[in-house]
A and B are shown apart, each in its own frame.
Chain A
Amino acid sequence: MKISNILSRKGRILLQELVKTDFKLRYQGSFLGHLWSILKPLMLFAIMYVVFVKFLKFGGDIPHFAVALLLGNVLWGFFSEATGFGMQAIVTRGDLLRKINFPKYIVVVSATINALINLAINLVVVLIFAAFNGVQFTWLVLLAPLLILELYALSLGIALLFSGFYVKFRDVAPLWEIFMQGLFYATPIFYPITMIAAFSPMIEKIMMLSPIAQIIQDLRFVLISQENATTWGLIDNFWIAIIPLVLVVGFLVAGSLYFKKHSSKFAEIL
């Protein structure tokens, strides 16, 4: 995928149309329409809040843990949506691929961009929520876009890599779903990472090497409170601390290469 190819006029126009269509049709036929983009994470948050904060008393020592919980929930929602829809995009759009020639990555990118739009809407809600909760924003907020970019790169890389597999093996979708369930529990979303530290500092460090954990904790750090533990705060060795970032780049490169190599055959296999 050359840069000129990504930015080709034809590709850009098509991407625009696909994103627009997906966005329009997302909550097609529902009474509340796009309000669901906000309501769904808020309601899921409400459940988690009752179960984990009020009932199980998680995160008592972390300031603004409710906001952190909401943020983590929203970020995880994006990650799961972008990878899930992204990897199935080629198959979902199979009818187009079989009848017309266009750069195939566009359908994957369009699926992930839609998740990104959704994330943007949700982040606005999180910020409003944070303001009401008395969160003091610092200049660190300016780092948030970079972290969102990292999250997007990770999701796109995974989506590109697995969309190629998924065309050949439909087993990929249920496998990914199970894996995501596991990863959800292995990521500090509804519990503070300090709970793990109390159990075993070693496991805490290993868990923080997962890119999604690193991104969520970093965003909590820059947006909500610097008392949220981060990968680079827990791990002193620079070469180990950049493992999450290396994984993100690795997924993006591997995904792009694999996709580029196999995308010309998609129309035949579908």
Chain B
Amino acid sequence: MKDNIAIKVSSVSKSFRLPTEQSSGIKQAIINAFKGIKGYREQKVLRDISFEVERGDFFGIVGRNGSGKSTLLKLISQIYEPEEGKIEVNGSLVPFIELGVGFNPELTGRENVYMNGALLGFAKDEISAMYDEIVEFAELSEFMDQKLKNYSSGMQVRLAFSVAIKAQGDILVLDEVLAVGDEAFQKKCYRYFAKLKKEKKTVILVTHSMDSVQQFCNNAILVEDGEIAFSGNSAKVAQRYRELFMPTELMQKQYKKGNDGLVETDFVKAKVDLKQTREKILVDIEVQEKIKLDEDAIIGFCLDRDNGERVYRWSSDETIEGNLSFNPARVSVEIDNIFPEGVFSMFFVVKSRDRAKDYAVVNDVLQFEIMPRSDCRWGSFWKPAEKTMTSSVVKKMK
């Protein structure tokens, strides 16, 4: 294996035996043996999976529920053995299928840290070296000699997460379950991911969240029905994943690829304009309903870099009080132009407030380019709009 490869997965297949009988036990085994039936059927979970993760990669594994991605993760973490094929790991691998593996409510916080550390493969002196940092990060220094059962659930998660964060390994395997918890905790998780990315750690992340994939991963694979349906740049993988959830007949109704800033679906007609100055980026959106929308419907957009990184997100319900009137709704958003140079694209949605109904979901509704600052001029991908700001709502962005 080449030195720059951290993990090499070569044509790995895996199947599970699912019992076909209700009971499993000696009696059933004997009955099955007499009847000459197997008592189980083989379920192929993964078929011929091959990919490589390079050192320093932030590698995403995405897929629907039941697509086989968790099995793949357990194979990489060597909890399961591949049936066919081979998985080579170059370096020490620290898996986090779940936080706080081996935590025992009857042990103190301190004892649990050592237990958890030992399970992750750390020696006592290694954990001792990390211990102070772990406690400090968890902000639990007064509680370490208390039994875990006396911790609030939030404190338990904090402790488990701190062990995970401070655990030093060459390759980290993270399951999406890490990002559970309250909003503050999720933010902490994402800051941690960002730090890992900056430090060029080798990370494998399994997730449903296309936002995190786009934000953190440089490469990703999409697993569908036990096979790699798509692999490559995380932005493209994220787009493919979103398309999986778009039933074809709906695709025509609500989903569309833009490029010119014009959107038309069965529900709405919208026009998106973007212009930039040296200091500001101005986004003008006009949405006209074609049929009556929910009265609390919202407008939202995200700005993505061409490498898939999501750099900006805006939604009307987070910034504007009250409901919009879609007859038509006009929104102007002013964003400080602190963007790095590069090509960006806009992802545009009109949805019900609970995000359950999609009225328009459009990738790449328009693109724009931020030029080097010394030569600031209008970008070449968009057409500056001439209209004045007469929107019904004007909101200045922080």
Contact = CB atoms under 8 A, between A and B. Distances in A.
Contacts of A95: 101
Contact of B102 (A28, A96, A169, A268): A96
Contacts of A24: 106-107, 111
Given A169-B25, A169-B29, A99 B80 contact: no
B25 A170 contact: yes
A9 interface: yes
Contacts of B293: none
Contact of A21 (B77, B79, B107): B107
Interface in A157-199: 168-171
Given A21-B107, A99-B101, A169-B29, A14 B79 contact: no
Interface in B92-135: 95, 97-98, 101-102, 104, 106-107, 111, 114-115, 118-124
A267 B75 CA distance: 11
Chain B binding surface SS class: loop
A4 interface: no
A25 B81 contact: no
B120 A100 contact: yes
Contacts of B114: 17
Chain A: number of interface residues, binned into ranges = 20 to 34
Nearest to B127: A13
A25 B112 CA distance: 13
A265 interface: yes
B26 interface: yes
Which of B74, B97, B118 has the most C-beta atoms of chain A within 10 angstroms of its own C-beta? Answer: B118
Nearest to A170: B25
A265 B16 CA distance: 10
Given A100-B79, A267-B79, A169 B26 contact: yes
B95 A100 contact: yes
Contacts, number: 66
A21 B104 contact: yes
Contact of A10 (B81, B97, B121): B121
A98 interface: yes
B78 A21 contact: no
Interface in A120-145: none
B147 to A, nearest CB: 10
Contacts of B119: 14, 17, 96, 100, 102
Contacts of B107: 21, 24-25
Contact of B97 (A100, A170, A265, A268): A100
Contact of B123 (A9, A96, A267): A9
Contacts of B26: 169, 171
Contacts of B115: 17, 21
B102 A101 contact: no
A14 B118 contact: yes
B161 to A, nearest CB: 15
B15 to A, nearest CB: 10
A16 B115 CA distance: 10
A264 interface: yes
A73 B97 CA distance: 44
B124 A100 contact: no
B81 A96 contact: no
Interface string B62-84: 00000000000010011111000
A178 to B, nearest CB: 13
B118 A17 contact: yes
A267 B111 contact: no
B77 A13 contact: no
B78 A268 contact: no
Contacts of A9: 123
Contacts of B97: 99-100
Given A96-B119, A100-B79, A13 B124 contact: yes
B180 to A, nearest CB: 15
Interface in A4-25: 9-10, 13-14, 16-17, 21, 24-25
Nearest to B121: A10
B104 A25 contact: yes
Contact of B118 (A13, A25, A101): A13
Contacts of B102: 96, 100
Contacts of B80: 267-268
Interface of B: 16, 24-27, 29, 74, 77-81, 95, 97-98, 101-102, 104, 106-107, 111, 114-115, 118-124
Interface of A: 9-10, 13-14, 16-17, 21, 24-25, 28, 95-102, 168-171, 264-265, 267-268
Given A16-B118, A17-B115, A100-B119, 8 more contacts: A13-B123, A24-B106, A25-B107, A28-B106, A99-B98, A100-B95, A102-B119, A267-B79
28 contacts: A10-B121, A10-B123, A13-B118, A13-B123, A14-B119, A17-B115, A17-B119, A21-B104, A21-B107, A21-B115, A24-B106, A96-B101, A97-B79, A98-B79, A99-B79, A99-B97, A99-B101, A100-B77, A100-B97, A100-B120, A101-B79, A102-B119, A102-B121, A168-B24, A169-B29, A171-B26, A265-B81, A267-B74
